Structure 1
Amino acid sequence: MDTDSRAKAQRFADLHREGCFLLPNAWDVGSARILEAAGFPAVATTSAGVAFSLGRTDHDFFAEQPAEDRVDRETMLRRVHEIAGGISVPLSADLEDGYGESPETVATTVARTLAAGAAGGNIEDFTGDRTRPLYDEKLSADRIRAARETLAADGEPFVLVGRTDVLLVGGPLDEAVRRANTYLEAGADCAFVPGAADAKTIRTLVRELDGPLNVVMGLTGNALSHDDLRELGVRRVTVGGSIARAMYRHLLDAARELADNGTFSYAADQLSQTELNDLFRQG
């Protein structure tokens, strides 16, 4: 890791020590640079946004998502490398389940993500198998532990996030708390519990977890604000694929207007060529 990348990674780690920061999710260099220009201190990737940009599906059970539709590790890491090299703020990578079940595979994925220029990354316990939607808790902890040991051997800053999808698959909050704490104990720097979107649930997580909490907002236009989440004790807030989905909503509306009406009102609110050139101009 070069000096600049190390400094970015350390800045990202420092963001997790106190306060509550917004970490919006990009899917390509252009979206990341727009988020950077808005003043965010760091950017994350969204596996959903990357998948959609490739015309593929995201985060589904294998029976509903054929293997050829899933974004593989090589493709995702290329995109991570492109985005990390295209912005001057730290990048955190959505690494899904680490692209394999074994702890050794997860450790390799995290090591390669660090080499690609990312300052952090998430590892989730969602399997994609409807018969066992979550990896066994002990195995999940071993996967986090293997990633942490690899990072420790490298000696470079990297924020490792342990994500549990208990709530997304209909499991109870107490299991989400237990799993998140297990991942923190195994070496995660931050816990991520998607599906926690109301004040009562988030307050419980903050109280019961032995480390900082990431929550994801924007999935349903949730009424809680950044200020609300700060007051609840959340450490960082991501938005998942919601910005990408909003962009595709506009694209679909424009396509339908053109196809159905032959009109062009969709263009009324577009960014100008000059504005985009200014946003993307290097230096």
Structure 2
Amino acid sequence: MTTADDFRALHERPEPFLLPNPWDAGTARLLAHLGFPALATTSLGVANVVGRTRATRAEILANVREIAEATPLPVNADLENGFADDPAEAAQMIAEAADAGAVGASIEDHTGDRATPIYEFGLAVDRVRAAVETARQRSVVLTARCENLWLGVNDLSDTIKRLQAFEEAGADVLYAPGLRTLEEIRAVVSSVGKPVNVVMGFADPSITLEQLAEAGVRRISIGAALSRLALKSFVDGAREMLAGRFGFVGELPPITELQQAFD
């Protein structure tokens, strides 16, 4: 089996799998060492590395290559909206991500325009259809994302309508960032036939893996949450240092733990 076959098979298991989001080679190797079965990039995590909240197209593709080369695990690429409105142009980024080593990729219906943040329904579906065509040519697992909820468009019915249309257009995995409750998650999962990814960076953190499995979720990611957690630890330590205290040094993991993952 190829790495792409392995990644597709993870979505076909009866239980959900955890898909964490590293942001560089080091974090990718740490996650692989811990035993995760696959990895996903995070565009916000990439942006954070360079001190911004938005990464460029080139930076995202370079990060896909870096993470894909860091471990033998399957990699799913967060490609935002493909950095293009036109369906064919957006789909081209999927081909480039595959060239960089990704075996999965996502496409969003988020325009990047604050005035009109979501693509019109027909264009959104056309974009997924073009992405599916490219993904199939490259043996890439295609995730279609509806961005309504996290952008403040609190319309679950429209979100479900879009996901159903994306499924009909051929998407392999469906994803609606911003689902917060088990009830919302169950409503989405029960409305479609393809595997659903839930990102726990937005959801109620008290929801357990067992509850997600019971709801029928097949893939669980975390978005940029691990990156943000790392930055919080960094800032907390720096503030403690400014205050003239160094207690955080006593909480550092042994260097041998890093050596085991990196050597």
Q: Alignment partner of 1:132: what SS?
A: coil
Q: Does 1:277 align with 2:262?
A: no
Distance, in Å, in 1 between the alignment partners of 2:116 and 2:201 is 27
For normalisation by structure 2, the TM-score amounts to 0.95
The alpha carbon displacement at 1:247 in A equals 0.6
Distance, in Å, in 1 between the alignment partners of 2:90 and 2:12 is 25
Alpha-carbon contact 2:177-2:202 (below 8 Å) kept: no
> For 1:82-231, what aligned pairs fall within 5 Å after superposition?
82-152=66-136, 154=137, 156-168=138-150, 169-219=152-202, 222-231=205-214
> For 1:37-116, what aligned pairs fall within 5 Å after superposition?
37-57=33-53, 70-116=54-100
> For 1:15-26, what aligned pairs fall within 5 Å after superposition?
15-18=10-13, 19-26=15-22
The alpha carbon displacement at 1:53 in A equals 0.9
The alpha-carbon distance between structure 1 residues 32 and 221, as it changes in their structure 2 partners (threshold 3 A), is farther
The alpha carbon displacement at 1:142 in A equals 1.0
Q: Alignment partner of 1:266: what SS?
A: helix
Alpha-carbon contact 1:120-1:158 (below 8 Å) kept: yes
Which amino acid letter does the alignment assign opposite residue 256 of structure 1? Answer: R
Which amino acid letter does the alignment assign opposite residue 193 of structure 1? Answer: A
Q: Alignment partner of 1:188: what SS?
A: coil
Alpha-carbon contact 1:13-1:157 (below 8 Å) kept: no
The alpha-carbon distance between structure 1 residues 221 and 274, as it changes in their structure 2 partners (threshold 3 A), is farther
Distance, in Å, in 2 between the alignment partners of 1:160 and 1:151 is 6
The alpha-carbon distance between structure 1 residues 220 and 245, as it changes in their structure 2 partners (threshold 3 A), is farther
For normalisation by structure 1, the TM-score amounts to 0.89
Distance, in Å, in 1 between the alignment partners of 2:3 and 2:9 is 10
Gaps of 5+ in 2: none
Alpha-carbon contact 2:46-2:59 (below 8 Å) kept: no
Distance, in Å, in 1 between the alignment partners of 2:203 and 2:131 is 32
Q: Alignment partner of 1:157: what SS?
A: coil
Distance, in Å, in 2 between the alignment partners of 1:271 and 1:115 is 36
Distance, in Å, in 2 between the alignment partners of 1:104 and 1:170 is 26
Which residue in 2 is equivalent to 1:65? none
Q: Deviations over 1:191-239 (max 9, x none)?
A: 0011112111111111111311111103466111111100110010000
Distance, in Å, in 2 between the alignment partners of 1:250 and 1:220 is 22
Distance, in Å, in 2 between the alignment partners of 1:179 and 1:270 is 46
Distance, in Å, in 1 between the alignment partners of 2:215 and 2:33 is 28
Q: Alignment partner of 2:213: what SS?
A: helix
Task: Give the fraction of aligned pairs with identical amino acids, expressed as a percent.
Answer: 41
Q: Does 1:246 align with 2:229?
A: yes
Distance, in Å, in 1 between the alignment partners of 2:104 and 2:112 is 23
Alpha-carbon contact 1:197-1:215 (below 8 Å) kept: no
Distance, in Å, in 2 between the alignment partners of 1:265 and 1:220 is 32
Distance, in Å, in 2 between the alignment partners of 1:102 and 1:218 is 29
Q: Which runs of 4+ in 1 moved over 6 A?
A: none
Distance, in Å, in 1 between the alignment partners of 2:103 and 2:80 is 16
Distance, in Å, in 1 between the alignment partners of 2:66 and 2:161 is 36
